[in-house]
Amino acid sequence: MKEREDVVAAVLEAAGGELIGRVRLQKAVYLMDRLGLGSGFTFDYHHFGPFSRDLDNAVADAKAFGLVEEVFEQRQSDGATYSIFRLKVQAKPDAFGELGTKRAGEVVRLFAATNVTVLELAATVDWLWRFGKCKDWRSEITKRKGVKVQGGRLDQAVVLLGQLDLTLPAVRAPA
């Protein structure tokens, strides 16, 4: 049985040893779970979409056991603080579940290179229709996320889900 802190270390290893942002980490693990990671974390809807308190606790454990470190930086644009997670030891090879080491590396590097708002939208769309049972996920995410869906970001999120083979049900136009 894999320990939850090993999952955190494995995700960071797949990312090349570093991942920027708590939102990015949460959404990456959520989507990796959908692809077969099998983290065992429970995700519920929160302000930024799917969120796992279990994952948050696993990060704390991974830091306490010396597997990862978290450093804080400030954005130059507005001074907001963000986290940088860095791997300190090699992850256990079995921590990737059915996803596998190669595929885990591919997807988490894709997530690291994706705009964090697009990643947030992709995870939220997936959660809304799969677990929130929203048939009209497009209207629902627009209502919940407002301006975040603008500028083509929602379309980019849908494309990202397609790249992951996480297909969405069609949304019918209103009659």
Give the residue, 68 or 95, on which the prediction is more confident: 68
Query: Is 2.60.40 the CATH number for 1-113?
Result: no
Closest to 29 (Cα-Cα) out of 53, 63, 47, 65: 53
Q: Is the pLDDT of residue 110 over 70?
A: yes
Chain mean pLDDT for the chain:
93
Q: Report pLDDT for 162.
A: 95
With bands split at pLDDT 50, 70 and 90, how would you rate the model's confidence at 167? confident
- Output the pLDDT for position 47: 87
pLDDT band at 6 (very low <50, low <70, confident <90, very high): very high
Does 111 have pLDDT greater than 70? Answer: yes
Query: What does the domain layout of the chain look like in residue ranges?
Result: 1-113, 114-175
Beta bridge partners of 49: 46
Residue 48 predicted with pLDDT over 60: yes
* CA–CA separation, 12 and 104 (whole Å): 10
Mean pLDDT of 59-84: 95
Q: Return the residue matching tokens 């990456």.
A: 28
Please give the pLDDT value at position 123. 98
pLDDT surpassing 80 at residue 44: yes
Phi, psi of 147, deg, nearest 5:
-65, -25
